[in-house]
Amino acid sequence: MSGRWWRIRPRTRRTELQLLVLVSVTLVVGAASLGATLRYQAALAADKTVGTLDLLPPDPRALAIYIGALFAVHAAFVLAGRRIDQVLMPAVGMLGGLGLLLMQRLPQSLVSQSFGDAVLGLGQLQLAWLLIALAVIAVLAVAVRSDAWLRTYKYTWAAAGIALLLLTFVFGSDVNGARLTLSIGPLSGQPSELLKVILVVFLAGYLSENRSLLADESTRIGPLRLPPIPYLAPMVAMWAIALGIVVVQRDLGAALLFFAVFLALLYVATGRPSYAVGGVILFVVGSWVLYNLFGHVQQRVDNWLDPFRNPLGSGFQTVQALYAFARGGILGVGLGAGLPTIGGRLPVPAVHTDYPLAALGEELGLIGLLAILGLYLVVVERGLRIAAAAHDDFRAILAAGLALVVAVQAFIIAAGNLKLIPLTGITLPLISYGGSSLLANALVIGLLLALSDPGVEPPPPPRPARRWLRRPGRRAARAGGVDAPAIGDAVLPGAGR
């Protein structure tokens, strides 16, 4: 295998390079504006006058490292010589860069971690996570040349996901009333971020295998057409377990995300709107039950309906976020000119995790906000394009699911920030502070890039359809899936065709 590296021909990637230059220029201009504004405001607070316009970014080294890393990833892609998507990485780099600028601009003491003598603040930590995320993207995009390891072990992945959640439930620590964080030694993370990727992999495997059955056969219950019960059961079970645990953990955002992605993928696989409609009805009923059972759900909903009723208490964050959006107006107040702190306190305490959109909406205005939403749509468009071009159902559903998981998460938190739906505490993908979130989204983007290579290893030969091999054949078919030439195929040169 080592000998093959010599045979890889570098392939230039002009589009990606041009887009990266655009992204870099934008980030440098933004950082220069941020630096000038911060110095101006500091001088104003100290009653001094600012003589000359100083455009030095607040942390030029961090910015240089980040932009350097973007080009390093580009170089790796060029050297790998794969024909992977050229738009995805610059879009992701822009979102990550915006997040980095925001984190550099917020009070650095918001999050800090000490390593020996060195104390890293918010901006530096975010940079570190971004670099790791870019490394993950690069490694996945360059090295993954087969999806067999995902396709074959879907039940193993599902089991691992559930185990991860159970671990969190038992050993996790409570933060803000939700048990989301799992700590192992010095490392801590939010497993639900990883779980969303696992969920997509499992759903892709299961739905692609049972797609025609789910689409063609149905059980009628009154006016409702439901998927055939035996094929629905494992999926609903998986879903119920995940949802149950998520509800116990009080992670409403993740619950909403999982359910929305599940419904969307069910539609992608079957093309049946009635399943999605049934799911929405199920969701409404479930929400109503949750609302009546749980105080914290009620509080969220009440805050959503009328945050101004208690603007200094439970509605504080929502109201302050709306004020931030309003201050931004159409063009924004400018990077660094927003009001992140008042008298040393944050008006929106979770601005770096749950409310980055409010801060960006204030400083970049409606224009900037629309641009950010547009960048997410670019990511989705690339993902869905990869899905539509995929050679087989598994890959199509997997790619669609990975794109959806980013888009739906961005929608849920953005809609919560904008008071279109009740706020649920999840991160804004690729912008929010947080290692788990960045790494999970890096997994998503890396896998999407790998799948985008038209030369990715061909799917295993189609199995005989289930229709002819009812129960007795089922075991055989699955076994065939495991030791099919898939493993051996993995070493076939994808690019050598």
Q: Does residue 400 touch another protein according to CB under 8 A? A: yes
Q: CB under 8 A: which stretch of 187-195, 210-218, 231-239, 479-487 binds another protein?
A: 210-218
Position among 411, 422, 439, 481 found at the interface with another protein (CB under 8 A): 411
Distance, in Å, from the CA atom of 320 to the CA atom of 341, rounded to the nearest integer, reads 11
Per the DSSP assignment, residues forming a β-bridge with 184 are: 187
Q: Does residue 223 touch another protein according to CB under 8 A? A: no
Phi, psi of 46 (to 5 degrees): -90, 10
Nearer to another protein, 161 or 383 (CB): 383
Q: CB under 8 A: which stretch of 135-143, 231-239, 261-269, 286-294 binds another protein?
A: 261-269
Position among 320, 409, 424, 427 found at the interface with another protein (CB under 8 A): 320
Distance, in Å, from the CA atom of 319 to the CA atom of 312, rounded to the nearest integer, reads 9
Report, in Å, the least distance between residue 407 CB and another protein: 5
Q: Does residue 396 touch another protein according to CB under 8 A? A: yes
For 2, what's the count of Cα atoms within 13 Å in the CB-facing half-sphere?
A: 0
Q: Does residue 170 touch another protein according to CB under 8 A? A: no
Q: Does residue 267 touch another protein according to CB under 8 A? A: yes
Report, in Å, the least distance between residue 122 CB and another protein: 21
Residue 336: helix, strand or coil by DSSP? coil
Q: How many residues bind another protein (CB under 8 A)?
A: 59
Q: Does residue 458 touch another protein according to CB under 8 A? A: yes
Rg (CA), the chain: 24
Query: Under a CB-based contact definition with an 8 Å cutoff, are residues 202 and 238 in contact?
Result: yes
Looking at residues 339 to 358 of the shown chain, list those that interact with another protein (rule: CB under 8 A). 339, 342, 347
Q: Does residue 328 touch another protein according to CB under 8 A? A: yes
Nearer to another protein, 267 or 294 (CB): 267
SS (H, E, C) 124-188: HHHHHHHHHHHHHHHHHHHHCCCCHHHHCCHHHHHHHHHHHHHHHHHHCEEECCEEEEEEECCEE
Rounded to 5 degrees, what angle do the CA atoms 49, 53, 56 make? 120
Distance, in Å, from the CA atom of 3 to the CA atom of 114, rounded to the nearest integer, reads 43
CA torsion, ordered 53, 58, 64, 70, to nearest 10 deg: -110
Q: Does residue 377 touch another protein according to CB under 8 A? A: yes
Query: Under a CB-based contact definition with an 8 Å cutoff, are residues 263 and 275 in contact?
Result: yes
Per the DSSP assignment, residues forming a β-bridge with 225 are: 220
| 219-221/113-115 β-pairing | unpaired
Looking at residues 30 to 69 of the shown chain, list those that interact with another protein (rule: CB under 8 A). none
Q: Does residue 496 touch another protein according to CB under 8 A? A: no
Nearer to another protein, 121 or 459 (CB): 459
Phi, psi of 15 (to 5 degrees): -55, -50
Q: Which amino acid is at 1?
A: M
Q: Does residue 87 touch another protein according to CB under 8 A? A: no
Q: CB under 8 A: which stretch of 96-104, 244-252, 361-369, 444-452 binds another protein?
A: 361-369
Report, in Å, the least distance between residue 271 CB and another protein: 5
Q: CB under 8 A: which stretch of 13-21, 104-112, 443-451, 457-465 binds another protein?
A: 457-465
Q: Could you list the residues that contact another protein (CB under 8 A)?
A: 211-212, 215, 264, 267-271, 311-312, 319-320, 322-323, 325-331, 333-334, 339, 342, 347, 361, 365-366, 369-370, 373, 376-377, 380-381, 384, 387-388, 391-393, 396-397, 400, 404, 407-408, 411, 414-415, 418-420, 458-459, 461-462
